[in-house]
Amino acid sequence: MCELLGMDCNVPTDIVFSFSGLSARGGRKGPHADGWGLALYEGPVARVFLEPAAASDSPLARFVREHPIKTLLAIAHVRRKTRGAINLANTHPFFRELWGRHFVFAHNGTVKNAFDLRLGRYRPMGKTDSEHAFCHLLGALANEFGTRPPRATELAAAVAHHAGRIGKGGTFNMLLGDGQQLYARCATKLHHIVRQAPFKKATLCDEELSVDFAEVTTPKDRVAVVATMPLTRDETWHVGEPHTLWVFRGGKLTKTLAS
């Protein structure tokens, strides 16, 4: 099984603290050593770092941690392979263009019947059930709405519906970003926290690294973080209910939908 990390904010924020915790689980404090990836949005476009190697030992991952890039939306993943070889094509997150913006996707679990899902305009470049499911999901959205970008509420409902349908074929914990909203589906295990005023100090579970967020934020800042397992040991994380989809925008949990 892999681990997921997502961040959605109301002001540009770097993901260094949370990514440091995830990286430790990518080979040193966890078995997820088969690849890592990080997508950072700048408007509708995602800047994506991918490497089929352990994040904990990666010079590229260390570079990302040491050179903060601020963003409003980010998705990261550390992989423990179940299907598909360890290579760049099979490394999450995956991304494609739809309606003039990048959609970014990362998955935790196994969708056993993924390769039976019909594909439309989107085709996998790798051999994972995850990418196949993503291509099917994005193709279903494109087919449902055509060339007209849907309203945010319409898109959220459609993502919840199609993700729930795909999830009937296996374990489908997933993160999906479109540059405007972050969608997080819980099949078995997912957690989130919203950091807002009054900010406090937080310490990573897997690293001796702490941040006093009161010193690096303003009272108006708001940051939502989603992770497979809580990344900090001194904060209260909310546990996801299986078969639900969280929708985040502007650092807020705006909806919880059946999925």
The CATH code for residues 3-258 is: 3.60.20.10
> Band of the pLDDT at 169, cuts 50, 70, 90?
confident
pLDDT band at 81 (very low <50, low <70, confident <90, very high): confident
The predicted structure's pLDDT at residue 80: 81
Q: Which of residues 33 and 159 earns the better pLDDT score? A: 159
Q: Which residue has the tokens 């689980």?
A: 25
What predicted TM-score, i.e. pTM, was given to this entire model? 0.96
Considering 2, 9, 135, 186, which one is annotated as catalytic?
2
3-state secondary structure of 132: helix
Query: What b/e sequence results for 139-173 when a residue is b if at least 16 CB atoms lie within 10 Å of its CB, and e otherwise?
Result: bbbbeebeeeeeeeeebbbbbbbbbbebbebebbb
pLDDT in tens, 232-254: 999 999 999 999 999 999 999 99
Active site residue 2: yes
pLDDT at 33: 73
Angle between helix axes 129-145 and 152-167 (nearest 10 degrees) is 140
How many C-beta atoms surround the C-beta of residue 66 within 10 A?
8
21: DSSP letter = H
Q: What is the mean pLDDT of residues 76-94?
A: 89
pLDDT of the residue at 145: 96
